[in-house]
Structure 1
Amino acid sequence: MRRIARLRSLALAAVLPVVLCACGGPEGGAADDSAEAVLVTAEVLRENVDILYGLASIERYNPPRASRLFAYAYVALYEGWVRGVPGLETLVGRLNGLDALPEPEAGVAFDWPTVALTAELGVVSLILEGAQPFSLFELETFVERQIEARREAGVGGGVVERSQEYGEALAEALSAWADADRYAERWDLNEYEPGRTEGSWVPTADYGMSIPLNQVTQMVQLFEEDDWREVRESDELRSEWLSDRMLLTARPSTITNPNTALEPGWRHLRPFVLSSVAEVAPPGPYPYATDPESDFYRDAYEVYRVSKELTGFDFATGHYWADLPAQTGTPAGHWLKIAMATVEQNEV
């Protein structure tokens, strides 16, 4: 039963934006369960998702880092709203390490959209600490605009200020919880060393050149080692050297090898719901083999064969799901957009 409860919590955490849309009600602002809930419109949440998606792209977050940003942001948004929507339950005690959060003062009114957005902004500000100065501007502007809309809707100034103070208290507590997930220690905890035996993975694109696109962005085109020698000796960039392996980065930057292991220390971070990542460990890979009759050879050859027969539709599908850092909000952001599209299509 405990495992089922934990899995339910995981499912809830994964669809928080959809839950917030689905559980709205008429506008109101008191603090107890008998109070009227405040409607979370799909339009407002869509803009919120779009802004965070853009943040992950601007900051060139890789998929694990982007997923962490989205997860903590929407836990904060949910916890800021949950006490104003009858039927929803707090995630305190359901997510690992989240043992307590500040409670609102009893008997006084709060404006839950203001609480939620203030909490979200505070948590995102912590996660983006050290980011580019303009990265938070759009989210800050969005929050200010939404709070001003609440005032225009008739929410009193005292209620707004009280709600902002409570949202800030939630943000402080949630930020402390996020800060304890070992994210900052992940490189110190990493003992990963690439294998050196036959069949071990090795980088295949060590070389690249920077092509400025505008004042703030450059493209880094990656080359095979043999092609790179020709590139350096040529006066032109020939089309046969180009491939889909490229990065868009902010200028200036240094060219690094993107084929190094991605966040190998991530497995040491505190999971949100699972006791350990071992609970959902996938089956191990086939053992390396060169025998054409082996499972490994068969599957590897299938990938090779298909790669030689790609159609225009295949390329379009691949680009749609590529979700490269700096080009999109990564797979986590992509799935959030799909969830929001589902909300809008079904008029939740």
Structure 2
Amino acid sequence: MKQFYFSLSLLIVVLFSSCNTENPTIEISSEDYHHAVDKLTQIMVHDIFSPPVASRIYTYSNIAAYETLNQESSNYHSLSDQLNNLSVINPTKTNDKVNLKLASLIAYLDVAKDLVFSKEAITTYRDSLYQHWNTLNPDELEAAQTYGTTISQQVTTWMQKDQYAETRTMPNYNIYSDDPSRWQPTPPSYTTGIEPHWSKIRPFVLDSAAQFKPQRHPEFSLEKDSPFYKEVMEVYTVNREMSQKGDESPEVLIAKFWDCNPFVSVNKGHFMFAVKKITPGAHWVGICKIACRQTKTDFEKTVYAYTKISLGIADAFISCWDEKYRSNLVRPETLINAYIDKSWAPVLQTPPFPEYTSGHSVVSGASSEILTSIFGEDFYFEDLTEVQYGLPIRPFNSFRAAAQEAALSRLYGGIHYRSAIDIGLDQGIKVGTLVNTKVKFLK
């Protein structure tokens, strides 16, 4: 009998020990996804991607994550056959217990790596995660890698047909013209217009870049009683009044908060250097993160939110850039220096592309509609996106209120006329509304 109890006790110990040695499940949280998005943003700031190109990087990376997560979801639809030319994704599972959250994050990083210049930086980040996950459960990691990369490769194949590569070989913007209404490069670096062929990029949801072609801006005129000249004078007058109030005036603070210029040239004596910042799209991606954290969203909703806002931002840039190089309108700085006050300078550095419509306005309008659809009306949040650049937190009572301020900031910055702001905001709202109504995310 003693031998029986000894054998039974030994069996229990062995079984208990066996259970304890099983590899634990790799837990992936919303914070892991936020960290990956933040890492991609940091790399894009370092690589100095233009706002339109940055929007493309965010969108394809998030789509890869979303599709990996939601091929068999009971809550979310796949985006296959919903986005332009995205055919059905064919997933390949090595077993029925693939960690979809882990695979989703792997797919995100896999696509992101192909899109940035600093591939080593994102590879190092990814490999550090792989090393940690491998110590927890190597089999689970291997299965997730196989599944995630199977889908990310299909997204990459679709991505490679969006005309981006073709636009890299198209001619630069022709800046030579005697027409005073035509955009010209501006101080201090006089950079040639960026991404003049962006309207040729395949949209994600829009039926074409010109789907929401805005009404024409006021007819160019330097006659003092003309609507256009009055808009020029508004920019001049508002900025003169702001300068009298000083750098701490509410208008100056708003302008600087929403600057989001990824490459500001600074002259110091004989030296010129760049101050790197996030793009307008990255600012709204940051607001998305704030809303997700504030509402404690789960992993699935977090990926959904990032994907949906990325789609809106990307199509907003395509829509906006289509109009910019169609209207080719001169910036306030050029006209004011030539015809009104040669010593005048805007609060913000004028970005290197035509004026109409305002990119901040279009992107903010689209983003605010999409975030409102996800998190609701009257969503109070404190925007700390710019804290890392030495700017204070700004509170907002809704996403739409933030969008209206972002749009108006371009007047305060001295880089846009009133029409580009107001009509651009409406243009963006139309893009955001289209994403909200046309793309079915939720089942």
**What is aligned with 1:174?**
155
One-letter code of the match for 1:330? T
Q: 2:219 aligns with which of 257, 268, 287?
A: 287
SS of equivalent residue, structure 1 residue 48: helix
Q: Deviations over 1:187-245 (max 9, x none)?
A: 4445853443132222232xxxxxxxxxxxxxxxx3xxxxxxxxxxxxxxxxxxxxxxx
User: Residues of 1 paired with 2:140 and 2:30: CA distance?
Assistant: 24
Q: Partner residue of 2:252?
A: 315
Determine the structure 1 residue equivalent to 2:391. Answer: none
- 8 Å CA contact 2:163, 2:201 repeated in 1: yes
Counterpart of 1:330 (choices 279, 287, 299) is: 279
Tell me if 1:140 matches 2:126: yes
Q: Which has the higher contact order (CA 8 A, sep 6+)?
A: 1
Deviation at 1:295, TM superposition (A): 0.9
Report the count of equivalent residues: 256
Q: 1:185 aligns with which of 151, 155, 166?
A: 166
The code of the aligned residue for 2:68 comes to G
**Pair 1:133–1:273, CA change in 2 (3 A):** closer
Residue 346 in structure 1 maps to residue 328 in structure 2: no
Looking at structure 2, the residues matched to 157 and 84 of structure 1 have their Cα atoms a distance apart, in angstroms, of 24
Amino acid at match of 2:153: E
- In structure 2, what residue type is equivalent to 1:203? P
- Deviations, residues 5-58 of structure 1 (Å, cap 9, x unaligned): xxxxxxxxxxxxxxxxxxxxxxx99xxxxxxxx986432232122111101101
Give the Cα–Cα distance (whole angstroms) in 2 for the partners of residues 52 and 293 of structure 1: 49
Provide Cα deviations, 1:95-140, integer angstroms capped at 9, x if missing partner: 1121122223386221112211221122112112xx2354314541
Listed as ranges, the gaps of 5+ residues in structure 2 are 1-23, 264-275, 298-443
For 2:321, the equivalent position in structure 1 comes to: none
Q: Cα offset for 1:332?
A: 1.1
Alpha carbons 1:117, 1:143 under 8 Å: kept: no
Say whether residues 1:297 and 2:229 are aligned partners. yes
| Structure 2 counterpart of 1:132, one-letter code | S
Task: Check conservation: 1:111, 1:163, Cα contact below 8 A.
Answer: yes
SS at match of 1:278: coil
User: Once the 2 structures are TM-superposed, how far is the Cα of residue 279 of structure 1 from its aligned partner?
Assistant: 0.7
Q: CA deviation at 1:321?
A: 1.0
- The structure whose Rg is larger is 2
CA RMSD of aligned residues (A): 2.6
What is the rounded CA distance, in whole Å, between the counterparts of 2:57 and 2:75 in structure 1?
26
Task: Determine the structure 2 residue equivalent to 1:234.
Answer: none
Using the alignment, how far apart are the partners of 2:93 and 2:214 within structure 1? 46
TM-aligned CA distance change 1:45 to 1:73, over 3 Å:
same
CA distance in 2, matches of 1:267, 1:114: 35
Maintained 8 Å contact 1:82/1:88:
yes
Q: Is the 8 A contact 1:286 1:295 kept in 2?
A: yes
Which of 25, 30, 54 does residue 42 from structure 2 map onto?
54
Amino acid at match of 2:181: G
Cα separation, partners in 2 of 1:281 and 1:190, compared to 1, 3 Å = farther
Q: Which has the higher helix share?
A: 2
User: Could you say which residue in structure 2 is the equivalent of 1:111?
Assistant: 99
Alpha-carbon distance between aligned partners in 2 of 1:332 and 1:143, rounded to the nearest angstrom: 27
Partner of 1:278: 210
Matching of residue 200 in structure 1 with residue 182 in structure 2: yes
Residue 69 in 1 paired to residue 57 in 2?
yes
User: In structure 2, which of residues 108, 111, 117 is the aligned counterpart of residue 120 of structure 1?
Assistant: 108
SS at match of 2:71: helix
Structure 1 pair 77–133 and aligned structure 2 pair: CA distance change class (3 A)? closer
TM-score by length of 2: 0.53
- Once residues 129 and 163 of structure 2 are traced to their aligned partners in structure 1, the CA distance between those partners, rounded to angstroms, is 29
Distance 1:157 1:138 in 2: 19
Question: Which amino acid in structure 2 is aligned with residue 316 of structure 1?
Answer: L
Q: List gaps (5 residues or longer) in structure 1.
A: 1-27, 30-37, 206-221, 223-255
Give the residue type in structure 1 aligned to 2:86: L
The answer as to whether partners of 2:224 and 2:230 remain within 8 angstroms in 1 is yes
TM-score between the two structures when normalised by the length of structure 1: 0.67
